[in-house]
Structure 1
Amino acid sequence: MTEKIDFKRTLASYRAPRGRFEIIDLPERRYLMIDGHGDPNSEVAADAIAALYPVAYAMKFASARELDRDYVVPPLEALWWADDMDSFTSARDKSQWDWTMMLLMPDWIDEQRFAAAVSAASAKKDAAARIGDVRCESLTEGRCVQTLHIGSYDDETDTLAELHERFIPGQELRMTGRHHEVYLGDPRRTAPEKLRTILRQPVADAGTA
């Protein structure tokens, strides 16, 4: 058996500086994805997350068993957006948020193995209701600005305002894709003030279309 891969250690996208913004370029990557709307603390969001992990673990176990390539299931990530982006900063109206919960897929997992993982997870006696909504999709973010936030998710407001209103315009950039968060801490086991979250925003030159 080869050594288990931990993508948090091998991919630079899982590392970000605290207290400053960093501009990085990210390649196309594939994710397990599931969509939803509303408060991330709601049962709707919990049901979405509960559908992702059985598929991810079925994929991981099959990879180790059939390909001799084992790995640590990567941390949960999410894309966030809203018709009014002020709902993330000044208003903080979570009921208006749209989201896509995601888990990174290793590049050696093909569509056939993804489908087999969905089938295996769905066959479990206690299978999550939304497993059938989990999809495999590529995400190309390109140039991004990111930073590490330590603390409660609700304390991200000042950092996001600094990112959106000052740093990005100050670098003659503009926001393009959806706000992206990477959850390096488990809120079930970590005090809110110690949670570690990468905050990421895709950008482009301000003068480009």
Structure 2
Amino acid sequence: MEKYDVKKAHKALYSPSAKEFTVVDVPEFRHIAVDGRGDPNTAPAYAHAVEALYGVAYTLKFASKRTMDRDFVVGPLEGLWRADDPAVFATRRKEAWEWTMMISQPAWVTDGMVQAAVDAVSKKKDLPALGDVRPLTLVEGRCVQILHIGSYDDETPTLDRLHNRCLPDNGLTFNGDHHEIYLSDARRTAPAKLRTILRQPVRPR
């Protein structure tokens, strides 16, 4: 049985350059998602969201393999980040951040399968954010992205280049939430070696 792996199926989207911004066209993707607000380092809601997402993601994987004979690699954690003032990302004012944490799903995973997985997990574990897990279809279209290597708190210079040089120099402006894809497991990776895709949907200014 061949496993579906979103990183391999969409290699150009999940292996960007770490030196230069690249423009990509991102198609429709299905996710499971949880919404929240606050500093991801200290807000209990963030930890609860991630815990619930992984619980449902692995339950979906095993259910798909068992009932459909279709297996897949659980995708990396991803996050959509937003705020009334985009400058709070560069200044790292995390208490003002709103977020949607996500894990990509194969196209064959239906809303009904997601609900069944939530129900199955609820019978085994008491996870505070489990009831907040929802299906999410995301179409970002034209985006600018780059690979950031290092601590999350060291993203500021790259985001400054994106906001104040890359977009203006190319006649582009924001067209959606700031998107991060966490290719590394922060629990097992030194901060200096973390690999994070920084993606920004854009449109002509």
Q: Same fold (TM over 0.5)?
A: yes
My pick for the range that moved more, 182-191 or 24-33, is 24-33
In structure 2, C-alpha distance between the alignment counterparts of 1:128 and 1:154, rounded to whole Å: 28
TM-score (norm 2): 0.96
Give the letter for the 1:18 counterpart.
A
Distance 2:85 2:61 in 1: 38
> Counterparts of 1:107-118 in structure 2 under 5 Å?
107-118=107-118
Distance of 2:61 and 2:122 partners within structure 1: 15
Q: Describe the superposition over 1:118-150 as per-residue Cα deviations: whole angstroms up to 9, x where unpaired.
A: 1111111x3311101000011110000000000
| Count of residues in correspondence between the two structures | 203
Map residues 23-172 of structure 1 onto 2, 5 A cutoff.
23-42=23-42, 43-89=44-90, 91-124=91-124, 126-172=125-171
Deviation at 1:25, TM superposition (A): 0.4
Q: Counterpart of 2:182?
A: 183
Look up the SS of the partner of 1:190 in the other structure.
coil
Aligned with 2:101: secondary structure? strand
Identity %: 54
- What TM-score do you get using the length of structure 1 for normalisation? 0.95
State how far apart, in whole Å, the 2-side matches of 1:109 and 1:3 are.
16
Measure the CA separation in 2 of the matches of 1:26 and 1:20: 18
Name segments (4+ residues, structure 1) moved above 3 Å.
none
Deviation of the 1:202 alpha carbon: 0.1
What are the ranges of 5 or more consecutive residues in structure 1 without an aligned counterpart? Answer: none
Residues 5-33 of structure 1 show CA distances to partners (whole Å, capped at 9, x for unaligned) of 22212213212111100000011111101
Structure 1 partner of 2:3: 4
